[in-house]
Amino acid sequence: MTKCSRRNIFKLAGAGSLALLLPAVAMKNAGTAWAQDNALDPESPQAKALGYVAHFEDVDQAKWTRYQEGQICGNCQLAQGDVSADWMGCGIFPGKQVAREGWCNAWVARQG
């Protein structure tokens, strides 16, 4: 017969908590990996055509004169998904993730 001591109960609770936590950690890391794997390459022809950069400080302001301070993917109307996240979707670049602090020449002020 198994002895059900307080120590055994705490051991089981600890193992159960870990079992619940591990899949959540794995899913979070999988999401990050997916975003990085699908990150829009600023050197790709589509990105270059619109002057996309992964950080607004890299905008060539002599070439892309529409750029104005404060414009980032995170406040662009065309951004999709969680715009407070580091990476997000974009209606201009389907299947790719753009950086929250990125920018391209198609930037449109986000409404609301």
The alpha-carbon radius of gyration of the chain (Å, integer) is 22
Q: How far is the CB of 33 from ligand SF4 (least distance, A)?
A: 21
Distance in Å, CB of 31 to ligand SF4, minimum: 19
What is the rounded CA–CA span in Å between residue 35 and residue 29?
Answer: 10
CB closer to ligand SF4 out of 37 and 59: 59
- Tally the residues of the chain: 112
Q: Which residues contact 71 (CB under 8 A, 6 or more apart)?
A: 56, 103, 107
Contact residues for ligand SF4 (CB under 6 A)?
52, 73, 76, 78-79, 90, 92, 98, 102-104, 106-107
C-alpha span between 105 and 102 (Å, rounded): 11
Write down the least CB distance from residue 93 to ligand SF4, Å. 6
For ligand SF4, the closer of residues 8 and 77 by Cβ is 77
In terms of CB distance, is 29 or 68 closer to ligand SF4?
68
